[in-house]
Amino acid sequence: MLTKFTIDYIVFPQHNTAVQTHFAADPIEAEDFLMSLLQIHARITAIRHEGGALTKHQFDHMLKIAAERIVAQLLEDSLQVDASDIKTRFGFAA
């Protein structure tokens, strides 16, 4: 199976300069991994699709989706409502 997405990141960037790489087979898996990186405050240095670097717009779009999924998850847990309510009330897809 070919790897479609490659994500370069640095864990604990304030103490570390080693770049790690994660390989993902599909966009949902890549978004899930980006969500985990955002939650641990890792530095995301590059996202590539099939070997080519994403444009700034594509890079930002993937991060925006990951961030919105985190926010939706937090709201769902905090308010104890389902995903459709989060979408209706706040516009975030869960």
DSSP for residue 55:
P
pTM attached to this predicted model: 0.89
Burial class for 29, CB neighbours closer than 10 Å (0-12, 13-18, 19+) = middle
Phi, psi of 60 (to 5 degrees): -60, -40
pLDDT digits (tens, 9 = 90+) for 12-70: 988 989 999 999 999 999 999 999 999 999 999 999 999 999 999 999 999 999 999 99
Q: What radius of gyration do the chain's Cα atoms show? A: 15
41 inside domain: yes
69 inside domain: yes
94 inside domain: no
44 inside domain: yes
Provide the number of structural domains found in the chain: 1
60 inside domain: yes
Partners of residue 23 on adjacent β-strands: 6
Phi, psi of 52 (to 5 degrees): -100, 140
- State which amino acid sits at residue 8: D
74 inside domain: yes
Domain encompassing residue 9: 5-89
